C-alpha cells in the first residue's frame, strides 16, 4: 500500500514527519510512504536516520502551504505545493491514501476540489475520536462544516456508523444526536429536524438525543453534530484533559508524600494521559471524499505520524469508501 504524506505540513515538519514515516515502514513492510516536499531537506533527514530506504519514496515539491495562507487561494495558486501534489497523487490513484499535518482548511479544500466528493454526499465531515471507558466514541463533524442542514447531520450518522463498523469493528454501532437534552423534541430547529430524519432512517441504529456527558461515558458509538459545535466540544475536552493532568502533577509535586505517591502511580498516570492524547489515534479521517484522506494534529510529532500512517492503511483495507457509496445511494 502506498501512502502519500505531506512532509512539509505541521509545526514540526519536516523532521518529525520524516521520522514518523520511517518508523511506520519499519513496523509494517506492506506500506510504502511517499514523502512529498523539498527533497533536499527530506533526504538529509533520511540519510541521517538510516541507510535503509526500503518503503520510502521522495517526490519533490517547491512550495509549501502555510497555516496562515487563505486555504482556497493557496490550493488554487500553489500548484507545486507539497499538499496539492500529494493530493493529486491520490486523485490519480498513484497512491492509496493521503496524510497531512498542515493547514486544516487547506486539507479540507484539497479534499473537496482535488480529490473530490463521493457522489451523493452533500457535505464531507472531519471525524474525531472521543475517549471513553470502552475505547472511543466517533464524533463528527469536528470542524469542516460550521453550518449544516438536517440532511447533512443524517449523512454524518451514516458515514460515522459505517466507519465504526468497517474500521473499528463495532457491530451495529449506535448513533446519537448531540443535543441540549435527551428528550425527543429538544434542541433548535436543526436538531429537531435532524432527529426526525435519523429516527426514520433505516441506514443507522439511531439511539436518540444525547447530551455532552454521554460521550465520555460511552453511551453511544457515534455522536453527530454540526462542525461548529463539534469543534468546540473537541477543543474544550483537550483543554480540560490537559489542565487536569497538569493540576494533578502540581499537587503531587507539592509535597514529599505526593512525590512518593506520584512515583508509585507514574506508569498508570502515563496510560491515562495517553488515552486522552491525539497521538494514539494519529489522524482525523475526512469522510465523504472519494479517497482516504487523514488530517493529523498540527503539532504532531513522530509517534502521531506513525500511528496516523498505520491508521490510513487500516482505513483503506476496510473497503469503507466502496461500502459508503452503496449506502449513500440508498438514502
Set out the domains of the chain in order of their start, with CATH numbers. Answer: 1-121+288-331 (3.40.718.10), 125-278 (3.40.718.10)
Q: Classify 176 as helix, strand or coil.
A: strand
pLDDT of residue 135: 84
Confidence of residue 239 (pLDDT cuts 50, 70, 90): confident
Q: Is the pLDDT of residue 268 over 70?
A: no
Mean pLDDT of 280-291: 87
As a whole number of angstroms, the distance between CA 294 and CA 278 comes to: 13
Short-list 188, 169, 167, CA closest to 177: 188
Can you tell me the mean pLDDT for 278-282?
66
* pLDDT value at residue 279: 64
For residue 64, what are the CA distances in angstroms to 6, 78, 232? 9, 8, 28
Average pLDDT (263-292) is 73
Instruction: Calculate mean pLDDT across residues 37-57.
Output: 92
What does each C-alpha distance from 14 to 10, 44, 204 come to in angstroms? 8, 10, 41
CA distance 328 to 331: 5
3-state helix, strand, coil in the chain (%, to 5): 50, 20, 35
Q: What's residue 273's pLDDT?
A: 58
pLDDT band at residue 276 using 50, 70 and 90 as cut-offs: low
- Specify the pTM: 0.88
Report the candidate in 238, 226, 242, 206 with the shortest Cα–Cα distance to residue 130: 238
- Stated as kind and residue range, the H or E segment containing 76 is helix 71-77
- Average pLDDT for 112-117: 93
175-191 mean pLDDT: 91
Amino acid at each position: 500500500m502506498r501512502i502519500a504524506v505531506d512532509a512539509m505540513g505541521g509545526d514540526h515538519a519536516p523532521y518529525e514527519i520524516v521520522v514518523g514515516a520511517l518508523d511506520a515502514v519499519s513496523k509494517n513492510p506492506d506500506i510504502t510512504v511517499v514523502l512529498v516536499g523539498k527533497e533536499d531537506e527530506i533526504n538529509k533527514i533520511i540519510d541521517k536516520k538510516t541507510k535503509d530506504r526500503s518503503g520510502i519514496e521522495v517526490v519533490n515539491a517547491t512550495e509549501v502551504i502555510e497555516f496562515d495562507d487563505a486555504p482556497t487561494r493557496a490550493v488554487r495558486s500553489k500548484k507545486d505545493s507539497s499538499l496539492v501534489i500529494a493530493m493529486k497523487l491520490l486523485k490519480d490513484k498513484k497512491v492509496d491514501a493521503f496524510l497531512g499535518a498542515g493547514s486544516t482548511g487547506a486539507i479540507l479544500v484539497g479534499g473537496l476540489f482535488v480529490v473530490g466528493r463521493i457522489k451523493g454526499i452533500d457535505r464531507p465531515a472531519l471525524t474525531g475520536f472521543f475517549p471513553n471507558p470502552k475505547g472511543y466514541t466517533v464524533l463528527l463533524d469536528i470542524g469542516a462544516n460550521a453550518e449544516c442542514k438536517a440532511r447533512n447531520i443524517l449523512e454524518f450518522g451514516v458515514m460515522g456508523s459505517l466507519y465504526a463498523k468497517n474500521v473499528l469493528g463495532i457491530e451495529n454501532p449506535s448513533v446519537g444526536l448531540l443535543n441540549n437534552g435527551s428528550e425527543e423534541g429538544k434542541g433548535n430547529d436543526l436538531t429537531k429536524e435532524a432527529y426526525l430524519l435519523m429516527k426514520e432512517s433505516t441506514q443507522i441504529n439511531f439511539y436518540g438525543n444525547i447530551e455532552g456527558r454521554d460521550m465520555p461515558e460511552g453511551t453511544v458509538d457515534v455522536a453527530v453534530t454540526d462542525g461548529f459545535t463539534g469543534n468546540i466540544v473537541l477543543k474544550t475536552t483537550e483543554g480540560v484533559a490537559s489542565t487536569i493532568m497538569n493540576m494533578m502533577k502540581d499537587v503531587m509535586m507539592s509535597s514529599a508524600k505526593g512525590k512518593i505517591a506520584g512515583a508509585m502511580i507514574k506508569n498508570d498516570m502515563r496510560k491515562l494521559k495517553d488515552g486522552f492524547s491525539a497521538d494514539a489515534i494519529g489522524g482525523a479521517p475526512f469522510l465523504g471524499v472519494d479517497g482516504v484522506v487523514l488530517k493529523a494534529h498540527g503539532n504532531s510529532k513522530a509517534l502521531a505520524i506513525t500511528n496516523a500512517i498505520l491508521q490510513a492503511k487500516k482505513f483503506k483495507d476496510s473497503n469503507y469508501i466502496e461500502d459508503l457509496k452503496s449506502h449513500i445511494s440508498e438514502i
